[in-house]
Amino acid sequence: MSTKLRCGLIGATGLAGQQFISALQNHPTLELSALAASPRSAGKSYADALKAPNGMMGWFLTETLPAEIARMKVVAGSELTATGLDLIFSAVEADVARELEPKLAKDLPVISAASAFRYDDDVPLIIPPVNASHSELLRGQQKARNTKGFIAPIPNCTTTGLAVTLAPLEDAFGVQAVLMTSMQAVSGAGRSPGVAALDIIDNVVPHISKEEHKVEVETKKILGAAGKPHDVRVSSTCTRVAVLEGHTEAAYVSLKKKASVQDVAAAMREWKGHAQTRDLPSAPPRWIEVLEDPFRPQPRLDRDTHGGMATSVGRIREDSVLEHGVKYVLVSHNTKMGAAKGAVLLAELLMVQGFIGGRPG
């Protein structure tokens, strides 16, 4: 019998759900044991649930749908029970998450890509190498909500790349203010409805609903102490560009202490992240790759570095407008480190920390 932890996945048929299926394939300690989606898919095999009325097989990843997943029976999210499961991954939209996640968290840990609970004071927002210790909030959450499980969301994918690059700067020099402009891939918008081809080809769309607020609030929450947001000032402009995968961000950072370009590059290169994350199965050999070529990072060339789990940084320069200013460009894989693989990494951390394991009967 398998000794892997048994995972349920809600929102299994959507694009984010498919990315979870991919992220969990051949995982050394986790396996998918239950798939849940909307009542429309309930009772069907996963392959049948993906079929559109026009006959299109709605599997959107480049890798083949694994045969054992294709055969699995899908249940309605509202019917999924904790029995026989160790944890839940959630890939549902925020409104569905608001209803389903608290029910499931009564018995099980819920690792979520949804934004529904990210801003609650008793909910940590963890990027494992950056703020692994924020998991201490989970015990308080369990007590306050009287649950055996808990809800642990991952941040917005645009926040992830920014926070990963700010963490070594905060550790080495302190950060006081950040200005950031993103150039975000279309995959970030999902497929329902997603971004229409006619809107994005030959174009840049200068607004993504609620995105800038998320980046600003989440960055402060992640860089702060558990339950106490950092006082860094964050201002962003989020745009959508005609790129499939990989968010590019131009960041301008005011440091607390002056640092040279070489100091900043060294701080990022040498940053190892939280000690508990170094040996996690999904951890890359380095969290940040600093590139010297002034024409990098580029999403097409750099998003898949270390399996999409590393953030690539280039164009590090001094900034003469901000106090102790530096500026750089980063690329972070929005659907890997910024989504499903990042959520799996969080589950791995919470296993090491003893928050996950122990199956309800």
Active site residues: 157, 247
Two structure tokens written together for 174: 């302190």
The answer to the question of residue 156 lying near ligand 2RA (CB under 6 A) is yes
Q: Where does this chain touch ligand 2RA (CB under 6 A) — which range of 2-10, 31-39, 152-160, 269-277?
A: 152-160
CB under 6 A: which stretch of 129-137, 182-190, 315-323, 345-353 binds ligand 2RA? 182-190
Give the residue with the Cβ less far from ligand 2RA, 34 or 208.
208
Of 141 and 158, the one with the shorter C-beta distance to ligand 2RA is 158
Query: Strands 30-37 and 74-76: what pairing?
Result: parallel
Residues binding ligand 2RA: number (CB under 6 A): 9
- Identify residues 332-351 at the interface with ligand 2RA (CB under 6 A): 334
Comparing C-alpha atoms, which of 252, 115, 119 is closest to residue 178? 252
Q: Which stretch binds ligand 2RA (CB under 6 A): 39-47, 50-58, 98-106, 153-161?
A: 153-161
**C-alpha dist (Å) from residue 318 to 151, 172, 213:** 40, 16, 27
Report the nearest approach of ligand 2RA to the CB of residue 238 (Å).
8
Phi, psi values for residue 32, rounded to 5°: -80, 125
Following DSSP, what letter does each residue of 199-229 receive, concatenated? Answer: HHTT-EE---TTHHHHHHHHHHHHHSBTTB-
Least spacing, CB of residue 108 vs ligand 2RA, in Å: 24
> CB of residue 174 vs ligand 2RA: minimum separation in angstroms?
27
DSSP code per residue over 227-259: TB----EEEEEEEEES-SS-EEEEEEEEESS--
19 part of the interface to ligand 2RA, by CB under 6 A: no
Compare residues 189 and 309 and give the one whose CB is closer to ligand 2RA: 189
For the CB of residue 95, give the shortest distance to ligand 2RA in the complex, in Å: 14
Q: In the chain, count H helices and then E strands.
A: 12, 13
Footprint on residues 189-218 left by ligand 2RA (CB under 6 A): 189, 208, 211
Residue selected from 77, 155, 188, 342 as contacting ligand 2RA according to rule CB under 6 A: 188
Which value, in Å, is the radius of gyration of the alpha carbons in the chain?
Answer: 20
From residue 49 to residue 68, the character string flagging contacts with ligand 2RA as x (rule: CB under 6 A) and all else as - is --------------------
Phi, psi of 178 (to 5 degrees): -140, 130
Q: Shortest approach of ligand 2RA to residue 32 CB, angstroms?
A: 22
Exactly one of 90, 184, 254, 332 binds ligand 2RA (CB under 6 A); which one? 184
Burial letters 274-294, b for 16+ CB under 10 A, else e: bebbeebebbbebbbbbbeee
Min dist CB 275 to ligand 2RA, Å, is 29
Q: Please report, as residue ranges, which positions from 290 to 319 form the binding site for ligand 2RA (by CB under 6 A).
A: none
Rank residues 44 and 191 by Cβ distance to ligand 2RA and give the closer one. Answer: 191
Q: Does 157 bind ligand 2RA (CB under 6 A)?
A: yes
Query: Coil, helix or strand for 39?
Result: helix
Cα-flanking dihedrals φ and ψ of residue 36, to 5°? -130, 145
Complex with ligand 2RA: residue 174 or 190, whichever CB lies closer: 190
**Burial letters 145-168, b for 16+ CB under 10 A, else e:** bebebbbbbbbbbbbbbbbbbbbb
Alpha-helix residue ranges (DSSP H) falling in the chain: 15-24, 46-50, 67-71, 94-105, 128-131, 137-145, 157-172, 197-200, 211-223, 261-270, 299-302, 340-352
Residue 176 binds to ligand 2RA (criterion: CB under 6 A) = no
For ligand 2RA, the binding residues (CB under 6 A) are 156-158, 184, 188-189, 208, 211, 334
